[in-house]
Chain A
Amino acid sequence: MLAYLARRLLVMIPTLVAISAIVFFIIQLPPGDYLSTMVEELLAQGEKPDGDRIRMLREQFGLDRTPIEQYLHWAGGLLVGDLGWSFEYNLPVSQVVGERLVMSFLLAFAATLFTYIVAFPIGIYSAVRQYSVGDYALTFVGFIGLATPSFLIALVVMHFSNVWFGAPVGGLYDPAYAEQPLSWAKFVSVLGHIWIPIVVIGLSSTAEMIRQLRANLLDELQRPYVVTGRAKGLTEGRLLFRYPLRMALNPFIADIGSILPKLISGSAIVGVVLSLPTNGPMLLRALQSHDMYLAGSFLMIEAVLVVVGMLISDIALALLDPRIRLGAGSEK
């Protein structure tokens, strides 16, 4: 197990390096930089930018150096937790993103949890009672959930909450807590608001999970060992939970690698629609204003979150299934 873990961690290093290089490349892509955008804006307003000051800022931010030097500087900073400088907020990125990241993590984590908690019983039910009315109904709802992107659901939810309750469902806490630091009361207020974005974000991956679990379980339920078990007099419940379910769980857990990116994508845009204090709206703003290190940090952190999520799912898989932790070396 330790060897497996070590191997898995080693593989992560080149992946992370590649991710950081790609992120840096992407944030370099837009023509010009923050300062040239600023100069243009000043010119558009009829003001004359101070050439010396611009040059000094350029030097200070390292914008005059080659991209490779800038990358090495940035990546080196990442290693020690320095995410760079946000031009727009004039603050270190880590200070700007701090609370938003906590909220985003919370949201992604809660949405994942929601997905599993809801998908698990429903998936089992749909498989065991295949072609029942309940199965058909759930499959139908699942398809709708699968086909409707979360931001459209968010828009529709917004509309109906207005029609039914007369109050918009925006934000993640009461406006009164907006400027306050994290506290217990704020946390409680968050709990009251957070379930709407969780449901909205988690719906499509929940639908996917249900389909996946149902298909896997149906495959397993046809196996001869199930018949043998039943012939030997195992109770249905024990028969289901002891063997087929355990087999069907593997892909269920392995799938976290594919649902996490989706959840994070979803939370980014749902954050914009429902005006949540998460990374989405800020990323959008940063991208629009060429605040490159802020945008880059968001991309980087989100990708890292996915990589870590996959690591966790791999570890969970290895713990669950001895074939993986023992056979991984010889198989490939």
Chain B
Amino acid sequence: MSQPIPHYVDPRPFDPQAGERLSPELERYYMSSQWRMMWLKLRRHRLAVISGAILAALYAMILIAEILAPYDPNTRHTEFIYAPPQDVRLFHEGRFVGPHVLGWEKSLDMDTLKRVYTPDPAKVEKLRFLCSGDTYRFWGLIEGSFHLVCPAEGGQFFWLGTDRLGRDMLSRMISGARISLTIGVVGVAISFVLGIALGGLAGYYGGWVDATITRAIEIIRSFPKLPLFMALSAALPIWLPPIWVYFGITMIVGLIDWTGLARAVRSKLLALREEDFCTAAVLMGANPRRIIGRHLLPSFMSHLVAVATLNIPEMILAETALSFLGLGLRPPVTSWGVLLTEAQNINAVALYPWLLLPIVPVVVTVLAFNFLGDGLRDAADPYK
């Protein structure tokens, strides 16, 4: 009655695993290490990648700060006190000249005794690139005078204006980046070590060790941070050389800010020490140091890196705030906070608003660290 349905049969031998075989790329993806998977996941978080690039550029900048800055940060141009920012122009009177600035025509307002600067169209000052200008000691060691950009011979180039002593704001901001950007990283390094050690002890041993450390964390956290920082940095003797003040401030922020990391370590450890691989290690006779260092820490290191990244901006802000209040770093050291002390005066802010410009790099850096940290935190658990 029924006829066989004519259908196609592949004459090739049947391979039962054909469906499970992976292409080489897929195989690489599945076999990749945890860090690689984190990177793959982080790459998709576009804001985090952009922020990372910005931060990399900023940190690269501090390596060659002397070259990037058009002037030495401490050169005083007494002719140009509180000079406003100059516009960099390409065309002059409809003609292409290349990057140049118009020199300032200075006059004194006899009513307010304020210096008035107006651009003088007769003074076209072409910028020079890859040129020699103010001499400096590169990282305090090698003498040099090579700059990326310099003003024209006999001219000036104050792209972001000058301050009360006629010092170039741009150069000062670039050299201030060195202090402001490193203080967060060094501080986080300190708090990282402290946080892992204390959080590790609390999480692994539990009991009274845990109780004591959590109590201590709670007590430290119940202090408002800034007044605490203020009190501690006021304790730094005034005669301390700047480099020691720098380390002192770093120590202070590092010693107070470890609590967040310690809490992260502790809670992760509490969860992980119940896992089978941990019990197995105990049964095989591994000592606690080995278990924590070899088995537990690596499994949540990525998470810690994310937490630490989110901690850096807080430290940068702490330094900025302290220096701003005059309790942190002091001139002649320049950091963004030190530069902002000049803007503390209401009159200065009203008359010379470019003194507020150091706010911009602070905000950019802090935002970038926040975005990067957010991206890292999402990527920290790539198996999700």
- A residues with CB within 8 A of B: 14-15, 18-19, 22, 26-27, 29-31, 143-144, 146-149, 151-152, 155-156, 158-159, 162-163, 168, 170, 257-258, 260-262, 264-266, 268-269, 272-273, 283-284, 287-288, 295, 298-299, 302-303, 306-307, 310
Chain B hits for A283, CB < 8 A: 227, 230
Chain B hits for A268, CB < 8 A: 224, 226-227, 230
- Contact pick for A288, options B234, B340, B343, B362, CB 8 Å: B234
B223 and A18 contact, CB distance less than 8 A = no
A15-B222, A19-B223, A302-B224 known; A144+B346 contact, CB < 8 A: no
Please give the distance in Å from A55's CB to the nearest CB on chain B.
Answer: 25
B234 and A298 contact, CB distance less than 8 A = no
- Contact pick for A299, options B218, B221, B227, B320, CB 8 Å: B227
- Give the complex CA separation of A279 and B219 in angstroms: 21
A146-B370, A156-B356, A295-B231 known; A264+B219 contact, CB < 8 A: no
A152-B359, A170-B346 known; A287+B234 contact, CB < 8 A: yes
A287 and B327 contact, CB distance less than 8 A = yes
29 contacts between A and B (CB under 8 A): A14-B215, A18-B215, A22-B219, A26-B228, A26-B231, A27-B231, A30-B235, A144-B363, A147-B366, A148-B363, A149-B321, A155-B356, A158-B349, A159-B356, A257-B222, A261-B222, A261-B224, A262-B225, A265-B224, A265-B225, A268-B224, A268-B230, A273-B344, A284-B327, A288-B234, A295-B234, A299-B227, A306-B222, A310-B222
- Give the complex CA separation of A158 and B353 in angstroms: 10
B197 at interface, CB cutoff 8 A = no
- Give the complex CA separation of A257 and B353 in angstroms: 37
A168 and B350 contact, CB distance less than 8 A = yes
Residue of B nearest to A18 (CB): B219
- B residues with CB within 8 A of A: 215, 218-219, 221-228, 230-232, 234-235, 237, 313, 317, 320-321, 324-327, 340, 343-344, 346, 349-350, 353, 356, 359, 362-363, 366-367, 370-371
Residue of B nearest to A302 (CB): B224
B359 and A156 contact, CB distance less than 8 A = yes
How many residue pairs link A and B with beta carbons under 8 A? The number is 129
Chain B hits for A14, CB < 8 A: 215
Chain A hits for B356, CB < 8 A: 155-156, 159
Residue of A nearest to B322 (CB): A269
A284 and B224 contact, CB distance less than 8 A = no
Leading 9 A-B pairs by shortest Cβ distance: A265-B226, A29-B235, A287-B234, A264-B224, A147-B367, A261-B224, A147-B366, A162-B350, A265-B224
Please give the distance in Å from A198's CB to the nearest CB on chain B.
Answer: 17
Please give the distance in Å from B374's CB to the nearest CB on chain A.
Answer: 9
B367 and A143 contact, CB distance less than 8 A = yes
- Contact pick for A302, options B215, B227, B327, CB 8 Å: B227
- Give the complex CA separation of A152 and B320 in angstroms: 10
Chain B hits for A272, CB < 8 A: 325, 344
- Give the complex CA separation of A22 and B219 in angstroms: 9
Please give the distance in Å from A240's CB to the nearest CB on chain B.
Answer: 26
Secondary structure call for the A interface? helix
Please give the distance in Å from B377's CB to the nearest CB on chain A.
Answer: 12
Residue of B nearest to A307 (CB): B222
- Give the complex CA separation of A288 and B233 in angstroms: 10
Please give the distance in Å from A272's CB to the nearest CB on chain B.
Answer: 6
Please give the distance in Å from B351's CB to the nearest CB on chain A.
Answer: 9
Please give the distance in Å from B266's CB to the nearest CB on chain A.
Answer: 14
B359 and A155 contact, CB distance less than 8 A = yes
B363 and A299 contact, CB distance less than 8 A = no
- Give the complex CA separation of A19 and B218 in angstroms: 10
B366 and A148 contact, CB distance less than 8 A = yes
A31 and B224 contact, CB distance less than 8 A = no
A159 and B349 contact, CB distance less than 8 A = yes
- Give the complex CA separation of A151 and B321 in angstroms: 8
Chain B hits for A298, CB < 8 A: 227
A147-B363, A269-B325, A306-B222 known; A162+B231 contact, CB < 8 A: no
Residue of B nearest to A260 (CB): B224
- Give the complex CA separation of A151 and B362 in angstroms: 12
Chain A hits for B222, CB < 8 A: 15, 19, 257, 261, 303, 306-307, 310
Residue of A nearest to B235 (CB): A29
Residue of A nearest to B239 (CB): A31
Residue of A nearest to B368 (CB): A147
Chain B hits for A269, CB < 8 A: 226, 321, 324-325
- Give the complex CA separation of A146 and B368 in angstroms: 12
A155 and B234 contact, CB distance less than 8 A = no
Please give the distance in Å from A21's CB to the nearest CB on chain B.
Answer: 10
- Contact pick for A30, options B226, B228, B234, B343, CB 8 Å: B234
Please give the distance in Å from B45's CB to the nearest CB on chain A.
Answer: 14
Chain B hits for A149, CB < 8 A: 317, 320-321, 362, 366
Residue of B nearest to A280 (CB): B227
A15 and B218 contact, CB distance less than 8 A = yes
Chain B hits for A258, CB < 8 A: 221
- Give the complex CA separation of A29 and B346 in angstroms: 33
A149-B321, A151-B321 known; A287+B349 contact, CB < 8 A: no
A147-B367, A287-B327 known; A265+B346 contact, CB < 8 A: no
Residue of A nearest to B350 (CB): A162
- Give the complex CA separation of A257 and B220 in angstroms: 12
Chain B hits for A15, CB < 8 A: 215, 218-219, 222
A306 and B223 contact, CB distance less than 8 A = yes
Chain A hits for B225, CB < 8 A: 261-262, 265
